[in-house]
Amino acid sequence: GQQVMQIPQYQHVQEGEDFTTYCNSSTTLSNIQWYKQRPGGHPVFLIQLVKSGEVKKQKRLTFQFGEAKKNSSLHITATQTTDVGTYFCAGLMDSNYQLIWGAGTKLIIKP
């Protein structure tokens, strides 16, 4: 079936280090959305990428959509404690317009 693979499952970083999560789809995506879920909270929409090769920035967050519209990444520069949470990608399938969620990457700041 259609899948969106997201890696890694967890990433432990020291505060101030960078963080990256990657999503890869088996099929072409119409667009991809990114959400953040804080511990004990609900997913919150961050951004939607639509165009091939698109790059968008939100302060320390950089989102990329691959040229083939099958992969995407989220990079956080100089992580802060407020970045803690799970980051999900969700891709809209080109074929049937169904939204498929990645498994999420949990960002953990080492004490």
Partner 1 sequence: AAGVIQSPRHLIKEKRETATLKCYPIPRHDTVYWYQQGPGQDPQFLISFYEKMQSDKGSIPDRFSAQQFSDYHSELNMSSLELGDSALYFCASSLTLHLNGTTRYEQYFGPGTRLTVT
Binding segment toward partner 1, per CB under 8 A, in 19-27, 39-47, 59-67, 74-82:
39-47
Binding segment toward partner 1, per CB under 8 A, in 13-21, 59-67, 69-77, 101-109:
101-109
Share in percent of the chain as helix, strand, coil (round to 5):
5, 55, 40
Distance CA 2, CA 111 (A): 38
Element housing 41 (H / E): none
Binding characters for partner 1, 46-65, by CB under 8 A (x = yes): --x-x---------------
Find the angle CA(3)-CA(46)-CA(100) to the nearest 5 degrees.
Answer: 15
- Contact residue for partner 1 among 28, 52, 58, 98 (CB under 8 A): 98
- Determine, following the binding rule CB under 8 A, whether residue 24 of this chain makes contact with partner 1: no
Distance CA 14, CA 33 (A): 27
Residues that bind partner 1 (CB under 8 A): 30-31, 33, 35, 41-45, 48, 50, 88, 98-99, 101-104
